[in-house]
Amino acid sequence: MPRCWLDDLGLSQRFFTILGGDLLGKGRAKPAPDLLLEMQRLGGGGRCVYVGDTTFDSGAAKAAEFLCVAVSFGYNDVPVAELETAAVIDHFDELVPVLEGL
């Protein structure tokens, strides 16, 4: 696997797989569901929840038929309340309890 900034932070080993937006080729980036579905396939299938902060993220999750949890911080190209999501969190500490409730 090519070196990435997650390596520099010592975080790469915390992920089963890491995929870049350009992996699948032109026209298959978010909000198309292709990258999310590939992540699901590589992870062995099962239930997925996507965490994001843009309309591209919530759109890709919807297209892939995944639940989406939005973060109130980050890029946010529209107000987070306007994103179609299952939940909104203000800090990553809230993520696990929210996931357990979905």
Is the N-terminal amide bond of 31 cis, ω within 30° of 0? yes
Strand partners, 49: 67
| pLDDT tens, the chain, 102 aa long | 556 778 888 888 888 777 777 778 777 888 999 999 998 998 888 889 999 999 999 999 999 999 999 999 988 889 998 888 999 999 999 999 999 999
Predicted TM-score of the model (pTM): 0.82
Euclidean distance between CA atoms 30 and 85, whole angstroms: 16
